[in-house]
Amino acid sequence: MHIESVSCIDDLRRAALARIPRFAYTFLAGGAGNDAGVRRNEQELARLLFAPVGMATGRVDTSVRLFGRTYAQPFGFAPVGMANLAWAGCDLMLAETAQRESLPYVISTAASTELEELAARAPDNCWFQLYMLRDDELNFALLDRVAAAGIEVLAVTVDTPVRSRRNGSIRERFEQPFQPHPRFVLDVARHPRWALRTARAGMPNLMNYSRYVEGGDIHKVAAFMKAQSRGGVSWDDIAMLRRRWKGPLVVKGILDAADATRAAREGADAVWVSNHGGRQLESAPATISVLPAVREAVGTLPVLFDSGVRGGEDIVKAGALGATMAFCGRAPIFGAAAFGAAGVAKAHAVLADEVRTTLAQIGCRRFADLSPAFIHRGEPGQGERGRAAPAARAA
């Protein structure tokens, strides 16, 4: 497929599947168990229909004001660990696109490029996602690096108490500690462009941890991570981070209204509705199904959203049900795997155009004006509109 023929994110996904080794695609695209949670996120978003209000409009405003900044689009790039498996340099491509297009880009603790280098490429748009370690001194050292790099927004992930079982990666034998095997070698050999690019750049490593591990190779870093597993994040941990971190603090991995309320009480500046893209608990609810209750619980506090976003209509649906901003993980990764930096730019362009077109079609001039009234609540053809919005969203 030529990039000019790409019409949607699924086109990028299919091109990525053809271009990179199967083990890499499975790691990046797969989820917990047999991927039922990944499919549920997508299916529940697809099930929602719009209720266009009034006459369609041609001019729309897609900008979002959040944490004192104005972003050009109501979506950002979600944190993705080991993104350079998709294509060497993927992390940098994401950061550079985010800076150029005025989107938030959330650096993963498990990124395959050091946070300092990424922050330098996107000085106005980088956030940082934290996996808390067992050793708080290491957590504090990492936070000091984040602050020194000029990153203002911290998102702490709370939905990874243990490592999940991802059957696709188990079948591909791409598990830690990883050991090369004949099928892996054959898989790489069948994708020479990926193999050559990766050989030149070096096999991806967990670069934000590597400086804390003598030798720093991937096997030692993986063992370090396993030993440093915190086994869950407590509310005391959130309170500690709130005292330590001076900028906006986001609690990521919320699926329950009571947890959202508690996060706000502990001083969170936003809550992030997420089930880790279906990668942690296979039978977790679809995030779009819990979003309205979380929005109602926290009032005007910003609510971020991810998991299952594969197009601009999904972003607008999330906005209508209370999301201040949506985040995409797999979409730009598919772009990088399919066409490198041009593919990341294509993923952004597709999503941005779909958001603009959708807002125009449903008669909403500003993303910030979306409400449940734009969601169809009856059977097709019945014309029943959504209920009134539970609360206005914070700017």
Active-site residue set:
276
Q: Report whether 185 belongs to an annotated binding site.
A: no
157 belongs to an annotated ligand binding site: yes
171 annotated as ligand-binding:
no
> Annotated binding residue at 276?
yes
Kindly report the three-state secondary structure assignment for every residue of the chain. Answer: CCHHHCCCHHHHHHHHHHHCCHHHHHHHHCCCECCHHHHHHHHHHHHCEECCCCCCCCCCECCEEECCEEECCCEEECCCCCHHHCCCCHHHHHHHHHHHHCCCEEEECCCCCCHHHHHHHCCCCEEEEECCECCHHHHHHHHHHHHHCCCCEEEEECCCCCCCCEHHHHHCCCCCCCCCCHHHHHHHHCCHHHHHHHHHHCCCCCHHHHCCCCCCCHHHHHHHHHHCECCCCCHHHHHHHHHHCCCCEEEEEECCHHHHHHHHHCCCCEEEECCHHHCCCCCCCCHHHHHHHHHHHHCCCCEEECCCCCCHHHHHHHHHCCCCEEEECHHHHHHHHHHCHHHHHHHHHHHHHHHHHHHHHHCCCEHHHCCHHHEECCCCCCCCECCCCCCCCCC
Please check if 79 is assigned to a binding site.
Answer: yes
Residue 80 counted as an annotated binding residue: yes
Q: Is 131 annotated as a binding residue?
A: yes
**CA-based angle 173:179:183, to the nearest 5?**
50
Task: Tell me if 320 sits within 8 A of 370, measured CB to CB.
Answer: yes
Residue with tokens 């030798």: 215
Task: State yes or no: 393 annotated in a binding site.
Answer: no
Residue 129 is assigned to a ligand binding site: yes
309 is in an annotated binding site: yes
Residue 283 labeled ligand binder: no
Sign of the C-alpha dihedral computed for residues 361, 364, 368 and 374 taken in this order: negative
How many angstroms separate the CA atoms of 224 and 345, rounded?
Answer: 35
Task: Answer yes or no: is 62 a known binding residue.
Answer: no
The C-alpha atoms of residue 50 and residue 97 are separated, in whole angstroms, by: 30
User: Measuring CA to CA, which residue among 11, 243, 256, 225 is closest to residue 108?
Assistant: 225
Residue 363 annotated as binding? no
In the chain, the amino acid numbered 57 is T
274 is in an annotated binding site: yes
- Is 35 known to sit in a ligand binding site? no
**Closest to 86 in 3D by CA, of 194, 190, 181:** 194
Binding residues for FMN: 79-81, 108, 129, 157, 252, 274, 306-310, 329-330
Q: Which residue ranges are tagged as binding site?
A: 79-81, 108, 129, 131, 157, 166, 252, 274, 276, 279, 306-310, 329-330
| Binding-site residue positions for glyoxylate | 131, 166, 276, 279
